[in-house]
Structure 1
Amino acid sequence: MIFDKNIVKAEFINRPNRFEAYVYINNFQVKVHVPNTGRCREILIPGTTVLLREGNSPTRKTKYDLIAGYKGERLINIDSQIPNKVVYEALKLKKISYFKKYVKIEKEKIFENSRFDFELWDKSNRQCYLEVKGVTFEKNGVTMFPDAPTERGRKHLLELVKAKKAGLDAAVLFLIQMSNVKYFTPYDKMDKEFGENLRYAKQNNVEIFAYDCDVGEHFITLRDEVKVKL
């Protein structure tokens, strides 16, 4: 997908809370919105070059969203709204092998006590619930999720198992918001229970995928499947 709004480079200063950060734009300090509740501590470091998306709504409290940051030469997108958009585009274009068989796509559908990102149907009307998780944490080429404890994420995995046991298809896709990584694995040190639930989901035949992305200053698109190590 290509960003249709103005993108501005800035220098990161600090992040006083989950939703706000301060940056320098042309030597002026500006408050911006952070559309990611994760920690992103290894990306949002004082002095880092970050990318801002300019908003045009008159009701906004800030003019910009902080959507990406450079970690060395690697550009990492951190916008939590992006993964679903990238995966939706990839599903429509049949870029993900496993999901090519599904001919109907609906967003944000409820099963049991969870709202999943996608509900898919194949030609025989068999359903598949798909949950997407955006991955921004990387260390020495290894990517991990989550970068902060996630009760909601743990619940989603258990609900996917319930869907599978009810005779439906179920899958989780970790969208790695960067390129050229080695593999994906759950971040057990951050959230041990999430890792346990992910392995439990795998044992119960929930499909688990990871894909990286081509990321530029004005675009992001799904790239290649990445090995998952559990």
Structure 2
Amino acid sequence: MYMFDRLTKTRFIRRLNRFVLVLKIDQTGEQIEAHLPDPGRLKELLVVDAVVWIQYADNPLRKTNWTAILCETDAGTLVSLKTTLANTLIEEALLTDRLPFFKGWTLEKREYRVDHSRFDFLLANHDGAKLLVEVKSVTLARNEKGFFPDAVTNRGAKHVKELTQLAQLGNYQSCILFVAQREDIQSVSMEATIDPVFAKAIEDAVEQGVHVFAVGTVINTERIEISKQIPVFV
């Protein structure tokens, strides 16, 4: 579980660039700029007048004093705009043994480097086997189905291909774990129309024995937490 600090309700006006939003605070009407932690397209979410929940940051080194944390869909579904929360939630779940598909594995290291690449987690079991885990945040959804990615991700495809190669060599087991950062997602599929290279990399990875899992979450303006395992369709 991750607890949010006090959030402020705003309305979306426009997106200045990949990392900055222009918003209007509901209560005062003040127009402000906020850092956007998710560099994805988010065009289905960031529409004029959409509700965006932001958090104040008292840091003189920042260009903006606010961070966008959540966005609401037309249906009122809350969507996390902070991609790093996926890793935070998975780390907590690993430390508390909440993920049944990782039963028998323990967290050995975060941000584990193999050659020139870095992966999110390294797990180990009592037999000495090693498991590399790469986490992906899912926010794109249609009809309760989540899709990844929402923009071309060359880095993501590169990681998947490297995990596949490492699994083939036999030094590591490999896993890709999708975290749905909106609670209306009941399954995860690859969005091949946006990034066919990533979709093909996942398909090849599964054929070569790379594990692929997904989990759903429950979100409100106070917290986000993992709810259950959900199916992945490759």
- Given the alignment of the two structures, is residue 13 of structure 1 paired with residue 13 of structure 2, yes or no? yes
Q: Identify unmatched segments of 5+ residues in structure 2.
A: none
- Given the alignment of the two structures, is residue 106 of structure 1 paired with residue 148 of structure 2, yes or no? no
Task: Give the deviation of 1:5 after TM superposition.
Answer: 2.7
Residue of structure 1 equivalent to 2:145: 142
Residue of structure 1 equivalent to 2:185: 181
The answer as to whether partners of 2:7 and 2:55 remain within 8 angstroms in 1 is: yes
AA paired with 1:7? L
CA-to-aligned-CA distance 1:118-147 (integer Å, 9 cap, x gap): 011111221100000000101111110110
Cα distance in structure 2, aligned partners of 1:69 and 1:103: 34
- Match of residue 217, structure 2, among 202, 208, 213: 213
Aligned residue runs from structure 1 range 59-208, under 5 A: 59-71=61-73, 72-167=75-170, 168-208=172-212
Normalising by structure 2, what TM-score?
0.95
CA RMSD after TM alignment: 1.2
Which runs of at least 4 in structure 1 moved beyond 6 Å after TM superposition? none
The answer as to whether partners of 2:94 and 2:107 remain within 8 angstroms in 1 is: no
CA-to-aligned-CA distance 1:17-45 (integer Å, 9 cap, x gap): 10111100121100111001101111111
- Given the alignment of the two structures, is residue 28 of structure 1 paired with residue 30 of structure 2, yes or no? yes
Q: Identify unmatched segments of 5+ residues in structure 1.
A: none
AA paired with 2:140? F
The answer as to whether partners of 2:107 and 2:121 remain within 8 angstroms in 1 is: no
The answer as to whether partners of 1:75 and 1:178 remain within 8 angstroms in 2 is: yes
The answer as to whether partners of 1:69 and 1:76 remain within 8 angstroms in 2 is: yes
Cα distance in structure 1, aligned partners of 2:144 and 2:4: 30
Q: How many aligned positions are there?
A: 230
Task: Give the deviation of 1:4 after TM superposition.
Answer: 5.1
Cα distance in structure 1, aligned partners of 2:4 and 2:199: 36
The answer as to whether partners of 1:104 and 1:122 remain within 8 angstroms in 2 is: no
The answer as to whether partners of 2:2 and 2:89 remain within 8 angstroms in 1 is: no
Normalising by structure 1, what TM-score?
0.96
CA-to-aligned-CA distance 1:7-66 (integer Å, 9 cap, x gap): 111111110210111100121100111001101111111111111122122211111111
Cα distance in structure 2, aligned partners of 1:114 and 1:144: 25
Cα distance in structure 2, aligned partners of 1:9 and 1:22: 13
Cα distance in structure 1, aligned partners of 2:4 and 2:150: 28
For structure 1, which segment, 170-179 or 97-106, has the greater mean C-alpha deviation from structure 2 after superposition?
97-106
CA-to-aligned-CA distance 1:64-113 (integer Å, 9 cap, x gap): 11111011221110211111001111111111111121123310011233
